[in-house]
Structure 1
Amino acid sequence: MKNLKRTFLLSIFVLILAGSTQAQTGLKTGDVAPNFAAKDSEGKSINLAQLLKQNKSVVLFFYRGQWCPYCSKHIKELQDSLQSLSAKGAYVVGVTPETDESISKTKEKTKASFSLISDRGYQIMKNYKVNFVMEETLASKYKSYGIDVAKNNGADEAVLPVPATYVIGKDGKIKFVQFDTDYKKRASIKEILTVL
C-alpha cells in the first residue's frame, strides 16, 4: 500500500513537472552546441571545443541529482557501456546542478568514471535550454519525501535540468537529442551508439 501511494504521488509529480517544464525546448539536432569550460568533480579542466579536437564526439547528458533513481540508473548504464562508447571515439560528460559533495555520492552509487560537472550558476544548463526552477509547491512535495533540491544544489532556489542527452559531432553540431520533460525517459545506449 505504501508503494502504491508513493507511485501515485510520483505520478502526480510527473504531471506537475511536465507542466512546469513545457516552456523548455532544449536544443535541436543540427544546432551548434554551445561551448563550455568547467572543472569536473576530479578537478580536471573540461572544455567542449578541446574535447572535440581530441575525440570524434562528445556525449553530453544532464541529470537531476544523486537522489534520483532514474538518473543513477542512466549513469550506471553509461558507465557499463563506457568502453563501447569510447571505442567509437566518444567522450562522456555529465552535467548536474548538484554540489561536488553530492556528485561524490553519485559516483559511489554508480561507479561513474567519466567527467561529472557541477553547473554552479546553471550556465551550461541555460545555454542548452534545459534548466527550470521548480515551483514552490513541487519543491515542498519533494522535501516531504526527504529531497531538498535547493540544499542538494547548495543554492537558494530549487533548479533542475530537464534530463537530456546530446551527442555532439566533431564539427560542433548536435547529431542526436533526447529531451523529454518526463524525467523517467532517458536516451538508450543503443540510440547513442547508433549515431556515434
Structure 2
Amino acid sequence: MNNQADALVNEMVPSYAADLAATIAPERLARSQAVSAKLIEAHIERNALGVGAVAPDFLLPDASGSMVQLSTLLAEGPVVLAFYRGAWCPYCNLQLRAYQRALPQIQARHATLVAISPQLPDGSLTTVEQNELAFPVLSDVGNKVAQQYGLVFQLDDDVRERYLAMKIDLEQSNGDTSWQLPMPGTFVIGRDGIIHLAFVHPDYTQRLEPAAIIAAL
C-alpha cells in the first residue's frame, strides 16, 4: 500500500481495498466479501450503546500488563474509546494509525485515547509495535467489556470456516473458544461518564474519522 499518512481513515479504505484485490487470490477476496455482507445484513449494530447512555466502567490490562480503569481516566478528562477486532484486521490497523496521528490534538483537549480488542496481551503488544502506538491498547479477553457496550456478535460455522480459510484463528489470538468478536466501535465519553458520541457501523471497513472525534471533545 502507498504511504498515505495524511489521508483520512475512510479515504484510505478504497485504496487499500484496491491494493488487496490486486494482491490476494480471488477466492480469498470472495470469502472476505461474503463475511462482510453477512455481517451487514444482520444489523447487529442496533444493539450498541448510543449517545446519552452511561459508559460502563472497566478495569483491563494494557499491552505491558498494567491495569487501566475507565473511571480513573475520566477523573482526568474525556476518554475516546476505540474497540477494534484484532491485529489481524488491516482496517483496524488503518484506523489505529490514523488515530495515532491525531493523538496530539486529542491530548490537547485533555482527553485520553484508549483502544480495546479481545486479543490476549501478546496480541495487544503486536498491535502497539506494528502501528507505533503511543496510547493504551487493552485486552478484553472474553469480550466482557465489549458485551456491556453492545458490540459482541457470534460468528456462525460458515463464517468461522471462512476465517480459518483466511488463516484467522480467533481461538489462538483471543485465548478462548467462543468465536465471538466486537463490532468496531468508537465512543467519546465525557468526564460525567456519559457517551457524547457513538459510531458503530455494520460495515467493518467504515470507521469514525479523527476529525469527528476532535470536534466532539
Displacement after TM superposition at 1:24 (Å): 4.9
Moved more, 102-111 or 162-171: 102-111
- The match for 1:27 is 49
CA contact (8 A) 2:64 2:121 kept: no
Q: Report whether the alignment pairs 1:189 with 2:207.
A: no
CA contact (8 A) 2:45 2:201 kept: no
Displacement after TM superposition at 1:21 (Å): 5.3
C-alpha deviations, 1:107-128, integer Å up to 9, x for none? 1221112111111122101110
Matches of 1:22 and 1:76, distance apart in 2:
26
Displacement after TM superposition at 1:45 (Å): 2.3
Q: Residue 65 of structure 2 aligns to which amino acid in structure 1?
A: G
TM-score where L is the length of structure 1 = 0.93
Structure 1 spans left out of the alignment, 5+ residues: none
Select 2:37's aligned residue among 1, 8, 15: 15
- The match for 2:80 is 59
Aligned length in residues: 195
Distance 1:24 1:42, change over 3 A: farther
Select 1:150's aligned residue among 171, 190, 207: 171
CA root-mean-square deviation: 1.6
- The match for 2:191 is 170
Matches of 2:42 and 2:177, distance apart in 1:
19
- The match for 1:95 is 116
CA contact (8 A) 1:65 1:71 kept: yes
Q: Residue 182 of structure 1 aligns to which amino acid in structure 2?
A: D
Q: Residue 175 of structure 1 aligns to which amino acid in structure 2?
A: H
Identity over aligned pairs, percent: 30
Which secondary structure state, in structure 2, belongs to the residue aligned with residue 54 of structure 1? coil
Q: Report whether the alignment pairs 1:47 with 2:69.
A: yes
Distance 1:15 1:170, change over 3 A: same
Matches of 2:136 and 2:43, distance apart in 1:
26
